[in-house]
A and B are shown apart, each in its own frame.
Chain A
Amino acid sequence: MVEAREPASASIVDALSGKTMLLTGVTGFLAQVVFERLLAEFPETRVVLLVRSQTGATSRERVEYLFRKSAFDTLRERVGEDGLKQMLRDRVEVIDGDFGKGEPAVPGGIDVAMHSAAAVSFDPPIDEGFLTNLQGAMNLYGGVIAGGSTPALVHVSTAYVAGVQKGVIPEGPLEHRVDYRLELELAVAARGDVEAASRKPEMLNAFMDSARDEHSRAGPRTVAEDAEERRQKWVTKRLVEYGRTRARSLGWPDVYTFTKAMGERAVEELAAEASLPLSIVRPSIIESSYTHPFPGWIDGFKMADPIIRAYGLGQIPEFPGIAEGIIDIIPVDFVVNALLAVAANPPAPGDVNHYNVSSGSRNPLRFFELYEWIRAYFEEHPLPERGRGEHKVPTWDFPGNLTVERMLRRAERLTDIAEKVVTHLPKSKSMRDAVRRVDRDKARVDFVKRYSDLYGMYTETEVVYTDDRTLALFESLAADDKARFPFDAAMVDWKYYLQDVHSPAVTQSLRELSKRDRDRPTVAIREREEPVLALFDMEGTIITSNVVESYVWARMADLTPEEWPRELASVFGRIPGYLQVDRRDRGDFLRTFFRRYEGASVEGIDRLVADHVAEFMLQKASAAAIRRIREHRAAGHRTILITAAAEAFVRPLSPLFDVVIGAELEERDGRYTGFMSAPPLVGEARAAWLRRYCLLEDVELRHSYAYADSYSDLPLLRAVGNPVAVSPDASLYRYARRRRWPIEEWGMTRGMPRVRFPRPAVRT
């Protein structure tokens, strides 16, 4: 149904000469190159850029920053830095505005408004999707019209707005009867509903419960913070669910395509009302450029690239999808060229032209071809694996979606079980190795699952988007323009494009990464003018034993052999109880345990420590820990020991520290009462203590260090600028890896005999 087109009277450049073009989304993938081409080849065209300023960067600075990117390499070489700045001064106006929040103030005199900004995510929460893709477009065009212009509109959409269909899709208005106004209103209202639902007591209790499971030892504040974080996550997840389900119930695969479709309808109505010429351009999957600015130019990773990279790393054993299905990919420069040609050839005011910029109908790329060429590429150019040769790429059999889903489900179940097992293993190096391996496997399974969920529709597709109108536009161009601004999808040589252009481009960073030594985060100890603290947790960090063990030990040393059996039975009999209390709240455990010292003489305990506990502690203390403490001292740092143990028991290590913060046992008449004279310093109480200490001593924590082994010490670690996880438990290990904190293994010195129970105390 394509009407014959008059040959374009003038070239694209001439058509846009003397015109002013408004561009949105210039910091993104597509408009970036449109902008570059306008600067480079349209000397008589003025450009107005609508850019949102960010904290720390004005909109103009963001544009200047763009010039440093590789898309501008060719142009920069031609005209130099100064030439670019000159162009920016002479031909470009940057205006600050956020159409997500309302109508931006746009100056008059706009001849062409090209809107290509969109939500990047396929799966945003439903309100965000609508606000950006529908309301945002309306705000933008509204702002342009309010500024007094009557421009030709070029609206960038996506081929997939056609939704879930089979067969051939023509270039025309979408056929549906969805009321976009109602959908928009309800989408925005959904957030209120979900936020309200998340605040119901039973929901909040559930968040609190799971937060408490993980953080109860750190303290109530940490629990509360975590519960709130969980609530927010839940809200987002729920709104994403709202969006996806609503989209699917109306025949769209995801919120992105759904809101884009709604946006098209809204823009069509707006253009008709204001009788503006409107062109809607619908590209399919946009990937790296074919020739311009240079072959393989890409900014960030687009849809297929994470999968290509993961495949090259051998991480995707199988992927759902129909082997014969068409993967509709189009190089970015084809889209840019089409946009410029469309902008130069607007329809009559009040009319709408739809263009599909896609390859599926005349130059189809089948899923198995894509797979085979990429596989061949990786076989010829495998990704290096540092120190282990090269990655092996898997062979896909395309066994069908059901089988792949079954495989995925099984893998998911296995990693879930493995995860439960490893997080309950005792703290050790091999536990941490296991955690790392399980996390890696889990990430792989999650990755494949997420991408197959998300892209299922794109890889299973049996739909063909015709591009007759786009082709007709191309054919109407002057010969010169055809060579200069090619966008005929039939021109793409897929094998060449995939193997020589695209795959090298998206794997380049992986190859460079493997050449460099992976920089493990390390601790750098620096001397500074201002006071610096070095805080050390004791149990599990400096001393390789837990509180229970060291107390049992100290207790034994205090008894005559005749008393041993009774005491042992009493202590060991209660160990499960102690451990349970300790799991819940270390403070409670300490209170319970210190009760055993009721009536013990202060002097006796001091002697016990000097005679027996000292040796035990020095033997259990990690040499690496002591070395590190001393390094900090040598650098002039103030060393602080924070322990849950009673101060009397840590005396053997106290010469290493400027400050020792331990539990204080109450004394009366030279004997311990079994009570603590101050609450035990555990979990977030440590961070609170630290903040107060810093206030009193006028110390900045930015340069300070903290060493701890347990997730419950997170508040303490987070308080300082240089946190270090030492032989961490599974949760802290994960956290530290994510944050790229240094992780150190401090253990007992190799070769030392096992610590035995002390010889019974000599009573004199």
Chain B
Amino acid sequence: MPRPGFVLQVDERTPPLLVPEGEGFRMQKFPLGTRVVYPPDPLPGVRDVPSAVRHALLNPVGDSKPLPELLFPGMQLTIAVDDISIPLPPMRTPDIRQPILEHVIELAARSGVEDVELIVATALHRRMTAAEIRRAVGERVYRSFYPEHLKNFDAEDPQGLTHIGMTDEGEDVEISKRAAESDLIVYVNINLVAMDGGHKSVAVGLAGYRSLKHHHNVHTMMHSKSYMDPREGHSAINDSVNRMGRVLRDAGVKIFQIETTVNSETFPSNLGFLNKREWEWGASDQAMMMAAKKANDVAPPRVRREFFRRIEAPYKLTGVNAGEVEAVHERTLTNLHRQQLVEVQGQADVLIMGVPYLGPYNVNSILNPILVHCLGLGYLFNMYRNKPLVKQGGVIILHHPVPWEFHSIHHPSYIDFFEEVLAESTDPKTIETKFEERYATDPWYVHLYRTSHAYHGVHPFYMWYWGAHGRDHAGDVIFVGGNPSSVARLGYRRADSMRDALEMAKDTVGSSPSITYFHAPPVMIADVH
């Protein structure tokens, strides 16, 4: 059993601690008494991945037969896989999707199934490029299926969706027509965080705007505390998705869910110091850190971006489960918690976090200001169970340069959202009422989503709502080192250094606040009591 997570109390002997900030990091001295939350050490990986996969497929959990018994000649089989948004950073090849897909396809072939379609469950995310798909599914699958039988999901195909029904709360359930009409959907998932997987895989991954708007909205987001706590009654979004999943099940949509979890080995060995606690750095870690920092500080932005873009995680599989959706997901969560849960006692007045270079929506792309907001206040802030790490009305201090930069192919609607919508209001409710519909149905964005590699027109709204709860919970949000104009556009404050930010925080939380530094990545969930 590896070391569990740990909460450090900063004292005189504590060295400067690493704080990630976009495409770079800083070494920061923290005030005495600051609590620093560290994730548990990586769990050991499964030794023999192929046999683990085979074992899972043949020994399903919950009310499900083994996969071979579900396959028969002449059937329609649809295999859906998670898209490029997970895992983060992209996994070193072979991606875990590859052996699972190969196994499933082999079993199907053995059972004489001929009609097999692979769908990348992008929902409203951008279409993956051919190269990205090849990397995720592996050469063999790619060659056999791409492009005729291995496609990105298209949520705007007027003929491509089927309305399954409504939940008892009046939510539309509409998913991919091909998937809905198949005799079996096999969903291949990677569960990086607690909100992935479960009913979300099909009900969200293969759905369009009509269905998604019922849970991706300001009201649901404000009532999800937290997204990372999928227990009934804790997360309105999870509850909604679960209702939809049950509508699918009751309508006879048959899903064989395969979920995987990976350990927390996020960074390759040359950046190994990023996986370790600072006082345990050896001479080589120290040297690597210094070299990386020096090189990074002098490198031009393009080079820096390219360096980070190329990072691949040496993740190891910690578990694979298959079968009925809810039963599988329960085991997945247990596995995930084993790796990610850290016990923390009590909330702090000030929460400090570093926003790293990568979130789910900027793989091979640019972390634009809206995504910075989402990653900081949507994802990192929500990495808790029970209570947030920071008190209601407390101060959140984030580290990120927040450059005014966008990827014009991946995020065209983000640019307009930033220039047009945020210039007028930052209030999620106002934005939702006034602008969402127009962006969601805009024919140009739809065109780019379907034919280019653009996120859907409504996607920046979801990113903004995603951070709504954190924004609302905090009394003040300060970006250390942020570009003044883009931080102002987001409606936050900025400071040149953490010291200044702490000084500014005193207006809100008084002169001697309790401070917590959430030392992620790697990903962890703070269980706050």
Contacts and interface: CB of A to CB of B under 8 A. Distances in A.
Interface in A619-638: 619, 621, 623-624, 626-627, 630
Contact of A618 (B306, B420, B448): B448
Interface string B292-320: 00000000011001100000000000000
Interface in B365-413: 366, 368, 403-409, 412
A652 B451 CA distance: 9
Given A627-B416, A627-B419, A754-B302, A656 B408 contact: no
A623 B415 contact: yes
Given A627-B416, A656-B444, A614 B405 contact: no
B416 A752 contact: no
Interface stretch (A520-528, A533-541, A743-751): A743-751
A332 to B, nearest CB: 52
B308 to A, nearest CB: 13
B452 A614 contact: yes
Contact of B406 (A630, A655, A656, A749): A749
Contacts of B453: 615
Contacts of B443: 655
Contacts of B210: none
Given A623-B406, A630-B444, A749-B408, A615 B416 contact: no
B506 interface: no
Contacts of B416: 623, 627
B405 A751 contact: yes
A754 B301 CA distance: 12
Contacts of B305: 753
B22 to A, nearest CB: 11
B447 interface: yes
Given A614-B452, A655-B447, A627 B409 contact: no
A588 B420 CA distance: 42
Contacts of A615: 409, 452-453
A580 to B, nearest CB: 33
B286 to A, nearest CB: 32
A298 to B, nearest CB: 45
A289 B416 CA distance: 57
A392 to B, nearest CB: 30
Sort chain B's interface into a size bin. 20 to 34
Contacts of A619: 408-409
A476 to B, nearest CB: 74
Contacts of A623: 406, 408, 412, 415-416, 419
B415 A749 contact: yes
Interface residues of A, number: 20
Interface in A578-618: 614-615, 618
Interface string B25-50: 00000000000000000000000000
B409 A626 contact: no
Nearest to A624: B419
B412 A750 contact: no
A580 B430 CA distance: 55
Most buried by A among B306, B407, B442: B407
B409 A750 contact: no
Given A618-B452, A753-B305, A655 B444 contact: yes
Contacts of A750: 403-406
Interface in B201-249: none
Contacts of B448: 618
Nearest to B438: A634
Interface in A717-753: 748-753
Interface string B440-458: 0011100110011100000
Interface string B356-372: 00000000001010000
Nearest to B411: A749
A618 B411 CA distance: 11
Given A656-B444, A748-B408, A753 B451 contact: no
A750 B368 CA distance: 10
B369 to A, nearest CB: 11
B451 A614 contact: yes
B406 A618 contact: no
Interface in A24-53: none
Interface string A630-673: 10000000000000000000001001100000000000000000
A626 B404 contact: no
Nearest to A656: B444
Nearest to A759: B131
Nearest to B129: A615
Nearest to A630: B444
Contacts of A754: 302
Nearest to A620: B408
B244 to A, nearest CB: 33
B444 A752 contact: no
Contacts of B442: 630
Nearest to B309: A753
Nearest to A749: B408
Contacts of B302: 753-754
A593 B95 CA distance: 46
Contacts of A652: 452
B408 A618 contact: yes
Contacts of B415: 623, 627, 749
Contact of B403 (A621, A655, A656, A751): A751
Contact of B405 (A630, A655, A656, A749): A749
Contact of A626 (B366, B403, B406, B412): B412
B412 A751 contact: no
B407 A751 contact: yes
A652 B444 CA distance: 11
A652 B409 CA distance: 12
Q: Which residue, A615, A621, A752, has most C-beta atoms of chain B within 10 A?
A: A752
Residue from the set B366, B409, B419, B448 with the largest chain A CB neighbour count within 10 Å: B409
Given A615-B452, A655-B444, A754-B302, A627 B408 contact: no
Contact of A621 (B306, B366, B408): B408
Interface in B450-468: 451-453
A618 B403 contact: no
Interface string A281-301: 000000000000000000000
A747 to B, nearest CB: 11
A748 B447 CA distance: 20
A458 to B, nearest CB: 52
Contact of B420 (A621, A627, A749, A753): A627
B487 to A, nearest CB: 16
A751 B447 contact: no
A621 B453 CA distance: 15
A463 B277 CA distance: 92
Given A619-B409, A630-B444, A751 B366 contact: yes
A489 B38 CA distance: 91
Contacts of B406: 623, 749-752
Nearest to A748: B408
Nearest to B442: A630
A634 to B, nearest CB: 9
B485 to A, nearest CB: 12
A656 B305 CA distance: 32
Nearest to B454: A618
B359 to A, nearest CB: 15
Nearest to B403: A751
B52 to A, nearest CB: 37
A614 B405 CA distance: 21
Nearest to B364: A753
Contacts of A626: 412, 444
B299 to A, nearest CB: 14
Given A627-B415, A752-B366, 5 more contacts: A618-B452, A623-B408, A749-B407, A749-B415, A753-B302
Interface of A: 614-615, 618-619, 621, 623-624, 626-627, 630, 652, 655-656, 748-754
8 contacts: A618-B452, A619-B408, A626-B412, A627-B419, A627-B420, A749-B407, A750-B405, A752-B406
Across chains A and B, which 6 residue pairs bring their CB atoms closest together, nearest first?
A751-B405, A749-B408, A623-B415, A750-B405, A749-B406, A655-B447
